[in-house]
Amino acid sequence: MEQKDYYSILGLENNATQKEIRDAYRRLALLHHPDRNRDNPEAADRMKEINESYAVLSEPRKRSEYDALRQTYGSSAYGHFRQTHSDQDIFRGSDIQQIFEEFSRAFGFRGFDDIFRESYGAGYRTFEFRKPGVFGRVIVGGVGNRQGAGGIAYPGGYLEKLIRYGLKKKWGIELPERGKDLQDSIVLSPEQARLGGRVRYSSQRTGREFVVTIPANMRTGQQLRLKRMGEAGRAGGEAGDLYLNIRIRNLLIQKVKDFIATLWSFMKPG
């Protein structure tokens, strides 16, 4: 018989209060949300375990039944509980739908319907969730959202900083944050600017060196955008972009510099 424990999945003791259960679920649901873990195939299964554990422990009657089975069967309680409780039974009366919609509004994640259809199939529509308005809303995103990692929109400005600070301070969750865009210059010869081609670029700021493909017919003052070549992101966020300002070397000035350098080499003693 399959052995799991709802308390352990949420990282709780068996005497946890309803507030502790709710806080643990919100923290884990945000941490393992499918939209934050699109490259991790195990995240979806982990999210289903978290959802089920919360749905059982947050409802007093179901929690009492599960606690009684734990006392009788110990580590096999989960298997006995699932023998008599379908998904419809477990999620009946849960406020999970509200919580997912709150996350969607606050962080630009996909809505509840998309997430549960992906995890449970079309049968999720038979689940009877609690109606809105029971726990109230946590964080509601404002206007001016911007795109973050994976196309997820985060509220901008002061509200974003407040959300990030609160999540990290209370639950240790650090949301993905896109790296800053960087600006630099690249100097081309007139021939390189006219014909284009591959030019080696070295960044004094980051120490990185790579080859840049220059389009033909570039002019001084134009910019090249190198996607994700800027500052590294944080907590899994994508890197920023690098903008290279085009500067074209003046041949006359360059010839004068070369002449002076040559003349100086002859004048040096020894």
pLDDT of the residue at 24:
92
Provide the 3-class DSSP secondary structure of residue 149: helix
Class of 182-267 per CATH?
mainly beta
Distance CA 61, CA 166 (A): 32
Lowest-pLDDT range, 84-93, 201-210, 214-223? 201-210
Per the prediction, the chain carries an average pLDDT of: 78
Please state the rounded mean pLDDT for residues 256-268.
72
Q: Which residue intervals of the chain bear CATH 1.10.287.110?
A: 6-171
pLDDT single digits (tens) 112-149: 778 777 877 766 555 555 444 333 332 223 333 444 44
Q: Which residue intervals of the chain bear CATH 2.60.260.20?
A: 182-267
Q: 246: alpha, beta or left, given left = phi > 0 and alpha = psi -120 to 50?
A: beta
* Long-range CB contacts for residues 252-255, cutoff 8 Å, separation at least 24: none
Instruction: Report in angstroms the alpha-carbon separations of 119 from 33, 97, 100.
Output: 11, 14, 13
pLDDT of the residue at 147:
43
Q: List the structure tokens of 40.
A: 């991790």
Lowest-pLDDT range, 61-65, 134-138, 214-218, 222-226? 134-138
pLDDT single digits (tens) 37-58: 888 878 888 999 999 999 999 9
Report the residue count for the chain.
Answer: 270
pLDDT of the residue at 31:
87
Amino acid at 37: N
Amino acid at 47: M
Instruction: Report in angstroms the alpha-carbon separations of 155 from 33, 82, 104.
Output: 18, 40, 12
User: Which of 85, 99, 84, 86 shows the shortest CA–CA distance to 54?
Assistant: 99
Identify whether the C-beta of residue 241 lies closer than 8 Å to the C-beta of residue 233.
Answer: no
pLDDT single digits (tens) 157-200: 555 666 666 777 766 666 667 788 889 999 998 889 999 999 99
Per the listing, tokens 């934050």 go with 36
The answer, yes or no, to whether residue 13 has pLDDT greater than 90, is yes
Q: Which CATH superfamily is domain 6-171 in?
A: DnaJ domain (1.10.287.110)
Identify whether the C-beta of residue 196 lies closer than 8 Å to the C-beta of residue 218.
Answer: yes
Q: List the structure tokens of 147.
A: 């795109």
